Amino acid sequence: MERMPEEQETPKTSRFQWFIFAFLIPILFGITVALLVFTLSGNNIFETAREYSQKVPFLASVLDDKKFRSQEVMEEELIGLQAEVKDREARISQMESQLDSKDLELERAALEKQRLEEEINELTAIKEENKRAFKDIVKTYENITAKKAAPILTEMKDEEAVKILSNVNSDTLAAIMEKMNPEDAARYTALLTAAKEKSGSNN
* HEC string for the chain: CCCCHHHHHHHHHHHHHHHHHHHHHHHHHHHHHHHHHHHHCCCCHHHHHHHHHHHCHHHHHHHHHHHHHHHHHHHHHHHHHHHHHHHHHHHHHHHHHHHHHHHHHHHHHHHHHHHHHHHHHHHHHHHHHHHHHHHHHHHHHHHCCHHHHHHHHHHCCHHHHHHHHCCCCHHHHHHHHHHCCHHHHHHHHHHHHHHHHHHHHHC
Q: Which sequence spans correspond to the domains of the chain?
A: 144-201
Contacts of 154 (CB under 8 A, 6+ apart): 161, 180, 184
Instruction: Give the relative orientation of helices 158-165 and 57-143 as an angle to the nearest 10 degrees.
Output: 70
**Mean pLDDT highest for which of 20-24, 51-55, 59-63?**
20-24
At 56-104, the pLDDT tens digits run 555 555 555 555 556 777 888 888 888 888 888 889 988 888 888 888 8
pLDDT given at position 68: 52
Claim: this prediction has a pTM higher than 0.85 = no
When mean pLDDT is compared across 13-22, 118-127, 143-152, the lowest value belongs to 13-22
Work out the pLDDT band at 1, boundaries 50, 70, 90.
Answer: very low
Work out the pLDDT band at 44, boundaries 50, 70, 90.
Answer: low
pLDDT given at position 2: 46
Residue 196 has pLDDT above 60, yes or no: yes
pLDDT given at position 23: 78
**Mean pLDDT highest for which of 3-7, 65-69, 162-166?**
162-166
Q: What angle do CA 163, 203, 119 make, to 5 degrees?
A: 65
42: left (phi over 0), alpha (psi -120 to 50) or beta: left
Work out the pLDDT band at 183, boundaries 50, 70, 90.
Answer: very high
Contacts of 70 (CB under 8 A, 6+ apart): none
Find, among 190, 171, 172, the residue nearest to 182 by Cα.
190
